Amino acid sequence: MTEPTVIQLSETEWEIPARGDMRVPAFVFADKTLVDGMESRVFEQLANVAKLPGIVAGAFAMPDAHWGYGFPIGGVAAFDPDDGGVVSMGGVGFDISCGVRTLLTGLSADDILACQSQLADDLLRRIPAGVGSTGAISLAPDEMDAMLRGGARWAVERGWGENADLDRTEEHGCMTDTHPEFVSDRAKERQKQEMGTLGSGNHYLEVQRVTRIYDGAAACAFGLKVGDAVVSIHCGSRGLGHQIGTEALREMVTAAPKLGIRLPDRELACAPVNSEPGQRYLGAMRVAINCALANRQIITHLAREVFARHFPKASLVLLYDVSHNTCKAEVHEVDGRCRHLYVHRKGATRAFGPGHPEIPRAYRDAGQPVLIGGTMGTASYILRGTEAGMKKAFGSACHGAGRSLSRTAARKRWQGKDIVTSLADRGILIRSHSLRGVAEEAPDAYKDVGAVVDAADAAGLAAKVARLEPMICVKG
Amino acid sequence: MTDGDWEHFEHGADIGVRGSGPTVEAAFEQAALALTAVIVDPARVAPQTEIEVSCEATDLELLLVDWLNALIYEMASRRMVFSAFDVRIDGNRLAAKARGEAVDTDRHAPAVEVKGATYTELRVDFRDGRWYAQCVVDV
């Protein structure tokens, strides 16, 4: 395959014109340095996405885009079911609804410093993290189905959280139109002991300090000010989502030829939204979103318990919860016409602009909080959705720093122990069950999250509100 | 377990696993060992407990993905890691024994869990007198 041509449109916008089988052009939002750093496979994958049936307007890559499966990670595309539009497992990924939530603590960074080491130890002890860890909650079949239908709402009803949490979670904590009956026994079996676990890889729980405010009004609406301590949790739908993804990929690869779909790449396995395999995947994927929401809700509860021991008067209030790997039915205006579309965001965050009815009232004037997770040695950011982002990429923004170096290369280059020591010297306490895991997640194995966020801001996808720096990181 | 080799190869955010050997079965066994090595050092895993795995696919490449995904499922649901494999392939059907033990966080120091095997860089082929079996796994 010849490498797609990438044409610069502005400082932060690039186009791959529609050629050959591409139904629409592809667009990359990034500055020149980030584009130069992207593997050519990102552009090939994006061009392939543009070939899928029913795609609307374009295939989009966020500033943190990197080589994924089917879609690049950081890929966004919307499909119109009335125009043969598809749903693709490769546009969602294995870790369905992997996402971030941030909690306000009402505490200052100085309060944390007074007990930083002990708090870090207690968080590691309380929150199951890493390979083979199990949660304290084991779900019987009926309860499993209740969780899969109820999401974070189920968790709150069982006592793991507060009703107010649901108002600050996408979909009010619960996806509707779910179909637990489309989920295999194997997927449920894989999840049985994984409720309330962080997982591994790039998942974490961090205690962070707000170090900078870029947008005073939005920061005020979000409840953020310099010197505050917040807690951010990054994890997903655990074994259930992974198994649903695995099974859907196989089913869609086999079904595609029968449905008359020619796949440019097997990982782009897809099925028309209006088809039996398409509906089955959507029903199961929504179930996995609920599983991820319930999981983050339970971990929130565990974090609250730990904080209550150290700070009896503190109250951890959910700022917001966003999901990164999803396909959601949304209404968007395209060429002056409202269309019902299925928007895939793979390693990308929903970033709805001001006034959108799905944004909690308290934030509606500011725009949706967009939570961007960084590395354990750099920073995370909170942005807000914009009007421009709604028009440019169906209300989507980047989701993190994006890897620049593979795990194998990172492992060869760094020792986990050295990373833990050097971060401790900078006041960042890392707690992990695996030093090799820490080495693979070395901050320098990632792109410059500041540059990624600046590009998202400059491109108008989302606007910077606050910068957060880690104080404690419990690594999954 | 037959003679063979395994290795990891680079993939942007994840890891490629590659096994090779004189037979396709050996290549599949080595690819499984490479999968284990993504998570733990296989030398630290005692092959104490045996489980059986079987799967079927329309071609050898899909069979490799199914084989690795079957192991990923067994690892996740049993909280085990495996270090010895005995694979038999008859046509498009695979039957295997995997031996390993329960994950011990202190002793194994597992790095990362594998979410699923993918069709990226998926190849099963015979070159220069040797079988190779490889794909990227999502971590």
Per residue in A173-207, pLDDT tens? 999 999 999 999 999 999 988 999 999 889 999 99
B79 touches chain A (CB under 8 A): yes
**CA-CA-CA-CA dihedral for A299, A302, A307, A309, to nearest 10:** -170
Number of CB pairs, chain A paired with chain B, less than 8 A apart: 125
Contact check, Cβ <8 Å, B11/A66? no
d(CA A217, CA A223): 10
Distance to chain B for A471, nearest Cα, Å = 22
Residue B90: which of B123, B125, B129, B57 has the closest Cα? B57
Alpha helices in B40-101 (DSSP H): 60-78
pLDDT for the residue A254? 87
d(CA B75, CA A279): 30
SS3 A18: coil
Per residue in A317-365, pLDDT tens? 999 999 999 999 999 999 999 999 999 999 999 999 999 999 999 999 9
Contact check, Cβ <8 Å, A200/B72? no
Distance to chain B for A25, nearest Cα, Å = 24
Lowest mean per-residue pLDDT among A132-146, A313-327, A375-389, A408-422: A132-146
Q: Nearest by CB to B8, which of A193, A408, A437?
A: A408
pLDDT for the residue A99? 97
Token pair in block for residue A322: 């966003």
Contact check, Cβ <8 Å, B109/A436? yes
Domain locations in chain A as residue ranges: 7-404+446-475
**Interface confidence (ipTM) of the complex:** 0.90
Which residues on A lie below 8 Å from B70 (Cβ)? none
Cβ atoms of A240 and A183 within 8 Å: the answer is yes
More confident residue, A133 or B128: B128
pLDDT for the residue B106? 87
Q: Nearest by CB to B115, which of A66, A95, A436?
A: A95
pLDDT for the residue A259? 86
Contact check, Cβ <8 Å, A133/B77? no
Q: Which amino acid, A471?
A: M
Q: Nearest by CB to A246, which of B13, B69, B111?
A: B69
d(CA A332, CA A16): 23
Radius of gyration of chain A, Cα coordinates, nearest whole angstrom: 21
Contact check, Cβ <8 Å, B10/A406? yes
Q: Nearest by CB to A267, which of B12, B77, B118?
A: B118
B92 touches chain A (CB under 8 A): no
Q: Nearest by CB to A434, which of B79, B109, B119?
A: B109
Q: Band of the pLDDT at B12, cuts 50, 70, 90?
A: confident
Sign of CA dihedral A151, A154, A159, A161: positive
Distance to chain A for B2, nearest Cα, Å = 26
Contact check, Cβ <8 Å, A242/B66? no
Q: Band of the pLDDT at B1, cuts 50, 70, 90?
A: very low
pLDDT for the residue B109? 87
Contact check, Cβ <8 Å, B119/A193? no
Q: Which amino acid, A476?
A: G
d(CA A195, CA A139): 8
Q: Does the pLDDT at position A385 exceed 80?
A: yes
pLDDT for the residue A369? 98
Distance to chain B for A339, nearest Cα, Å = 33
**Distances in Å between the alpha carbon of A198 and those of A1, A270, A303?**
39, 29, 12
Token pair in block for residue B59: 């071609």
Q: Does the pLDDT at position A103 exceed 90?
A: yes
**Distances in Å between the alpha carbon of A251 and those of A93, A193, A266, A277?**
15, 26, 11, 8
Residue B13: which of A285, A415, A348, A64 has the closest Cα? A64
Which residues on A lie below 8 Å from B107 (Cβ)? none
Distance to chain B for A167, nearest Cα, Å = 30
Distance to chain B for A34, nearest Cα, Å = 15
Locate the chain B residue with the closest alpha carbon to A404.
B12
d(CA A265, CA B81): 31
> A195: which strand partners?
A137
Which residues on B lie below 8 Å from A409 (Cβ)? 10
pLDDT for the residue B3? 60
* Mean pLDDT on B23-39: 97
Contact check, Cβ <8 Å, A267/B120? yes
d(CA A191, CA B90): 32
Sign of CA dihedral A185, A187, A189, A192: negative
pLDDT for the residue B86? 98
Per residue in A22-40, pLDDT tens? 999 999 999 999 999 999 9
DSSP annotation string for A326-378: EEEEEEEEETTEEEEEEEEEES-EE-PPTT-TTS-GGGTTT--EEEEB--TTS
Contact check, Cβ <8 Å, A434/B112? yes
Cβ atoms of A98 and A292 within 8 Å: the answer is yes
Cβ atoms of A319 and A222 within 8 Å: the answer is yes
Locate the chain B residue with the closest alpha carbon to A71.
B120
d(CA B81, CA B99): 8
Determine whether A399 is an active site residue: yes
Per residue in A262-310, pLDDT tens? 888 889 999 999 999 999 999 999 999 999 999 999 999 999 999 999 9
Which run of H or of E encompasses A253?
helix A238-258
pLDDT for the residue A201? 87
- How far from each other are the two terminal CA atoms of chain A, in whole angstroms? 38
Distance to chain A for B40, nearest Cα, Å = 9
Percent of chain B with pLDDT over 70: 98
Contact check, Cβ <8 Å, A266/B122? yes
Chain B contact probe: residue of A45, A242, A438 with most B CBs at under 10 A: A242
Q: Does the pLDDT at position A209 exceed 90?
A: yes
Which residues on B lie below 8 Å from A192 (Cβ)? 77
Contact check, Cβ <8 Å, A246/B122? no
* Mean pLDDT on B105-132: 93
pLDDT for the residue A1? 55
The one catalytic residue in A310, A356, A399, A433 is A399
B73 touches chain A (CB under 8 A): yes
d(CA A29, CA A421): 36
B66 touches chain A (CB under 8 A): yes
Mean pLDDT, chain A, whole residue set: 95
Per residue in B40-99, pLDDT tens? 999 999 999 999 999 999 999 999 999 999 999 999 999 999 999 999 999 999 999 999
The third-level CATH classification (topology) of the domain covering A7-404+446-475 is tRNA-splicing ligase RtcB (3.90.1860)
Contact check, Cβ <8 Å, A242/B15? no
Residue A256: which of A43, A51, A59 has the closest Cα? A51
| All structural domains of chain B | 5-138 (3.55.10.10)
